[in-house]
Structures are given as C-alpha cells and as structure tokens.
Amino acid sequence: MTAENIPRATAKRLPIYYRYLNILHDTGKQRISSTELAEAVQVDSATIRRDFSYFGALGKRGYGYDVDSLLNFFKQILNQEHLTNVALIGVGNLGHALLNFNFHKDSNVRISAAFDTNDQIINTVEDGVPVYPISELADQLHEQQIQVVILTVPSSAAQEVADAAVAGGVKGILNFTSIRISVPDKVLVQNVDLTNELQTLIYFIDNFSK
C-alpha cells in the first residue's frame, strides 16, 4: 500500500509507536502484544492492529510483535535513518523555545537555519542555529536545500512569509500561527493551534470529567 492510501490519523500515530518501540528496545524487551502496546501508548488495540494492517503482516497471532523487527520497519517508514534539516521562521518567544529544544536531540529532525526581522539577532547564532534576515528566506532555503519550515511569525505576516517559503521550494510547513495559510496543492501544511488545543481540553474537562 502506498503512503497516499494510509489514513491521516494512522500516519499521525506512527511516530508515537516508533518512540515507544525505541523505549522497549532500550530496555531489552524482545516482543510485545497489541494489548500491551495499547496500554502504553493509550491507543486501543483494535486501532493498533488496524494501523499495522496497512503495512502487511507485522506480527504473528499468539506471539505478538517482534520489537526489533517492528522498530526497524518504522525506522524505514519514518525515514529515521536520514537527518532532515528544517528552518524556523520567526524567532520570538515560541521560536526561541523551539530553538532551545531543537529536534535532533530526540529524532532525525534538526533546525539548521532560522529567519527573523529583528536586527539584534540577525546574523547571530542562537542556540547553535544561525539566524538570517527574512529577506533572504527564499534564497537560503534553495541554497541549503531545506524543504520543511516551522512558521512562528505574527499572524499578520504568515501568508506573505509562507509565499516566500513556497518560492524557496519548501514542501511542508508546520504552521503555529492562528490563520490558515494558502499554499499550492504540492505543499503540505500541518496546523498547530495551541489556543484551540487548550480550549478543547478545557471543554472536555468541564463537560466530561465530572
């Protein structure tokens, strides 16, 4: 089955499975059942079996899943064997937090370039990442062959900056702004609305936890 046929919800759960399988590998565990995995990652076992079924026979009835085999499989599926460089656009409070965290500590993703309009940080190095003027965005993305960007600019500038990123050849945008940006069909956008997520959490607390 091709990636285009994998449901989006399944694709979003794959990194969760991969991270936990890494933990199991580090503890020396050799096999795990879908029920055990379900308890650990808080996804019901039927969903896990359905997710895995899209990729063929990954386990054996009565045995479960071989941890190392499953880990290696997801490592290939998620392209964990190759480092992916991404760019951060907008080095404000959230941007600084992302730079400080940087993803290479926990995965195969690394922020390798940042962009901003603040003259005080342009042409400096923040948390090991060079900061370029946003006017150089398209050129630097092309030059460094960066295809994924994280957008943490003010909402009023989001569309203009996204257009420049598209001109620089990006294929994916992780959008932390509150607006929904317009991009060509060939560019994927993942929206992360922290306010919406928090409001949703509060709604469920108020209505379903009493």
Q: Left (φ > 0), alpha (ψ -120 to 50) or beta: where does 133 sit?
A: beta
95 appears as a binding residue in the annotation? yes
Parallel, antiparallel or unpaired: strands 172-175 and 148-151: parallel
Is 90 a known ligand-binding residue?
yes
How far is Cα 170 from Cα 129, in angstroms, rounded to an integer? 19
Q: Do 113 and 80 touch, CB atoms closer than 8 A?
A: no
Q: Which residues of 83-109 are buried (b: 16+ CB within 10 A; e: fewer)?
A: ebebbbbbbeeebbebbeebeeeeeeb
Residue 106 is given by DSSP the state T
62 assigned to a ligand binding site: no
Q: Is 93 annotated as a binding residue?
A: yes
- Residue 161 annotated as part of some ligand binding site: no
Q: Looking at 47-83, which runs of residues are DSSP E strands?
A: 65-66
Asked if residue 37 belongs to a known ligand binding site, the reply is no
Annotated binding site: 90-95
Annotated binding site for NAD(+): 90-95
